[in-house]
Structure 1
Amino acid sequence: MESLGTARTDAYLRRLGVVRPGRSSEGALRELQLRHLRAVPFENLAVHLGEELALTADAAYDKIVSGGRGGICYELNAGFAALLSSLGHRVELLQARVYGKDGALGIPYDHLALRVDGRWLADVGFGDHSSYPLDLEASGGQEDPGGVFLLRPADGGDGDLDVLRDGVPVYRLETRPRVLADFRAGAWWHRTSAESGFTRGPVCSRLTADGGRITLRDHTLVTTSADGDRTEKELAADEEVRAVYRAEFGIVLDRLPVPLHPRD
Structure 2
Amino acid sequence: MDPQLPQTVDAYLERIGADRPARPDASALRELQLRHLVAVPFENLSIHLGEDIVLEDEALLDKIVARRRGGFCYELNGAFAVLLRALGFRVALLQARVHGDGGRLGIPYDHLALRVETDDGTGPWLADVGFGDHARRPLALDDRTDQEDPGGTFRIVPVPAGAGEDFGDLDVLCDGRPRLRLERRPRVPADFRAGAWYHRTSPDSHFTRAPVCSRCTDDGRITLTGRKLLTTVGTERHETSLGSDEEVLAAYREHFGVRLDRLPSNSDLR
TM-score calculated relative to the size of structure 2 = 0.93
* 8 Å contact kept, 1:214–1:224: yes
Equivalent position of 2:120 in the other structure? none
* 8 Å contact kept, 2:48–2:268: no
How far residue 61 of structure 1 moved from its aligned partner, in angstroms, is 0.4
Q: Deviations over 1:90-141 (max 9, x none)?
A: 0000000001112100000000000000610000000000000000121211
Equivalent position of 1:124 in the other structure? 129
How far residue 3 of structure 1 moved from its aligned partner, in angstroms, is 9.8
Correspondence list, 1:190-209, <5 A: 190-209=199-218
* 8 Å contact kept, 1:201–1:260: no
Equivalent position SS for 2:101: coil
Q: Deviations over 1:34-84 (max 9, x none)?
A: 000000000000000000000111111000000000000000000000000
* 8 Å contact kept, 1:200–1:261: no
Q: Relative to structure 2, which stretch is displaced further, 84-93 or 15-24? A: 15-24
Letter in 1 for 2:158: P
**Structure 1 residues 24 and 154: alpha-carbon distance in aligned structure 2, compared to 1, 3 A threshold:** same
**Structure 1 residues 4 and 43: alpha-carbon distance in aligned structure 2, compared to 1, 3 A threshold:** farther
Correspondence list, 1:43-192, <5 A: 43-117=43-117, 119-156=124-161, 158-192=167-201
**Structure 1 residues 3 and 203: alpha-carbon distance in aligned structure 2, compared to 1, 3 A threshold:** farther
How far residue 4 of structure 1 moved from its aligned partner, in angstroms, is 7.0
How far residue 2 of structure 1 moved from its aligned partner, in angstroms, is 8.6
Identity %: 61
Letter in 1 for 2:129: V
| Structure 2 Cα separation of the partners of residues 174 and 224 of structure 1 | 32
How many aligned residue pairs are there? 260
| Structure 2 Cα separation of the partners of residues 78 and 229 of structure 1 | 33
> Aligned Cα RMSD in Å?
1.7
Q: Which runs of 4+ in 1 moved over 6 A?
A: 1-4
Answer yes or no: is 1:255 the counterpart of 2:262: yes
* 8 Å contact kept, 1:151–1:162: yes
**Structure 1 residues 160 and 102: alpha-carbon distance in aligned structure 2, compared to 1, 3 A threshold:** same
TM-score calculated relative to the size of structure 1 = 0.95
How far residue 180 of structure 1 moved from its aligned partner, in angstroms, is 0.4
**Structure 1 residues 3 and 127: alpha-carbon distance in aligned structure 2, compared to 1, 3 A threshold:** farther
